[in-house]
Amino acid sequence: DIVCRSLRVVQSNGKSAVMIGSSELGGRIRVHGKNGKVTTSISRSDDGTGHLVNFSPSEQLVSLLGGTNNDGGILVTYSSSGKRLVVLRSSGSGTNNDGGMLTTYSQSGKPLIGLGATTGGGLLVVSNKTGEGIVTLAADDYGNGTVGAWNRKGKGRTLTPQ
């Protein structure tokens, strides 16, 4: 057995290849590219879940895969400016839905499309460029379909079967 607080494996050029270590939160693994910059990190987050994080060659955050503090999972992809573009999450304990949710975002970080599951069934939300929901398609708790449309000021209506 090798017992240590950290272990660093170097490449032939002397730059880090892999770093295995510990922190106040637990264990951590960092994988480095040929240039010595971090490409991947596996660690524990503040809320006690595990995360796998990937970085671009310039060490910009690209994606995150991990758990959530309500026993669900999450995958997030980011733009080159660090804004989230896509979030895929599963529901966990204590949530109001029965499944997952996929949300896409604009380059400015506003939610544009949400696709998911609720206790009544499926749900689709389309938002305008400012992130305001303007169209919904959903199944209600009785198994009926509903369609909603609103203007940017929030005025609109919902159609339900008669």
- The pLDDT of residue 123: 92
The pTM of the full predicted model, rounded to 2 decimals, is 0.84
Band (92; pLDDT cuts 50, 70, 90): low
Q: Distance between CA atoms of 90 and 98, rounded to whole angstroms?
A: 9
- Tokens 């919902």 found at: 158
The residue among 51, 52, 25 whose CA lies nearest residue 40 is 52
**Tens digits of per-residue pLDDT, 40-84?**
999 988 888 899 999 998 889 999 999 887 778 999 999 988 899
User: Tell me, what's the pLDDT at 118?
Assistant: 82
Give me the pLDDT at residue 25, please. 84
Which residue is it, tokens 């573009």?
A: 85
Name every residue whose Cβ is closer than 8 Å to that of residue 89 and which is 6 or more positions away in sequence. 68, 72, 73, 74, 75, 100, 101
DSSP string, 17-77: EEEEEEETTEEEEEEE-TTS-EEEEEEE-TTS-EEEEEE-TT--EEEEEEE-TTS-EEEEE
Q: What is the pLDDT of residues 106-155, one digit of tens each?
A: 999 999 999 998 888 899 999 999 999 999 999 988 889 999 999 988 89
